[in-house]
Chains A and B, each alone.
Chain A
Amino acid sequence: MFHVDLAPHATHEARALEWLSPEERVRSGRFLHAGSRRRFTLCRAALRAVLCHRLACNGQQLTFGTSSYGKPFAQVDEVPNPISFNVSHSGSHGLIAVAPHGRLGVDIEERISRDDLGHLSDAVLGPSEKREFALLRGNRRTHFFFRMWTLKEALIKALGVGFSQDPAKFEVPLAVRRGAKTGTLRFPSLPRTDWRVDDLGTKDFAAAVAIEASPRRSLMPSE
C-alpha cells in the first residue's frame, strides 16, 4: 500500500504532469476543478512510478489497457502484465494498492459531515448494518457509515463489476463491523471465492483494501 499526499503543491503537480502519457494529460485537462485535476495527476504519476519500479520498465514502456469490465490493467511494451493494482483518492489523500496478482480494490474517503447519510445508508447498507447504523448518533454514526462505505467500495472494486453488485445485498463480516481490522467474506453471487478485507482507517480518513484471498491461478488482467 502506498499513501499519496494530495495537498496542493504547484511544483509537485507540474512535475507529476510530465510523467503522464499524452492521453493522460488530455484527461487531466478535462477536469473542471483544480482539486480533481490535482488528485488525478498526482495519483496517476505515483501509480506510474510504483508500477515502473515493480515491473522494471520506464514510463514510455508502461501503458494501460482496459478489461471488458472497465478495469485498467498494466502493459509493458504493449504486453499485458498480471500485476494487480487499484487507486483511490479523496480530499488530500490518495491510496495505491499493488499485488503480484489477484483481484484487488481500495477505497479512501475523508470523513466529511453530510446531511444525506440516512438516504445513502438506505442504498448501501444491508439489513443488519442498517439496524446498527440506526442506533448511532453524531460522530460515531459518521465514522460507522464511512467505515462501512470504504469496506464495501473496496470489495466492489476488487470484484470489478461496479455497482452492478448492489452494496446493500452483502454485509461486512460481523467481527469487522464490531471493530476487527481484518475479515473474510463471500459474495452471495460468487459463493466459491473468498475475499479478504482490511480496514485501513486513521484519524484523518476512512479507508479499506480488499483482495481475492486465494486466486486459483494468475489470470491475465484482460481475461
Chain B
Amino acid sequence: MASTEERLRTLVAENLEVDGQPVNVPADLNVSLTDAGVPSMDFVAFAKVIVREFDVPLTPDECADFSTLKDLAAYIDSQAA
C-alpha cells in the first residue's frame, strides 16, 4: 500500500494547479502549499479532499499552517495511529 507521503504527493498532483500547471512538489515534500503558490480557494477545496481521502479532521487554515507537506503527512499519520 502506498505511504501517506506518496498518496499526498498524488493528491497534490491530481487536485492542485498554479497558473494552469500542476503543482510539482519535491520528492521529499519539504515545501509548504503556500510556497507552492496555492491560493486560498484551493486550500478550502484541498482540505476537503484530505478529509475525504484520509478521514482526518482538517480545516483550510490548518492545511495552510503546516510548514511543509511532510508535516501534513505526519499529522495525517498521527491521526490514524
Contacts and interface: CB of A to CB of B under 8 A. Distances in A.
How many B residues touch the partner, as a band?
20 to 34
A153 interface: yes
A38 to B, nearest CB: 10
Interface string B55-69: 000011100100000
A101 B49 CA distance: 38
Contact of B37 (A36, A120, A123, A153): A36
Given A36-B18, A162-B61, A164-B59, A31 B35 contact: yes
Interface class of chain A by DSSP: helix
A123 B60 CA distance: 10
A205 interface: no
A31 B34 CA distance: 8
Interface in B42-56: 43-45, 48
A126 to B, nearest CB: 15
Interface of A: 30-33, 35-36, 39, 90-91, 109, 116, 119-120, 123-124, 149, 153, 162-164
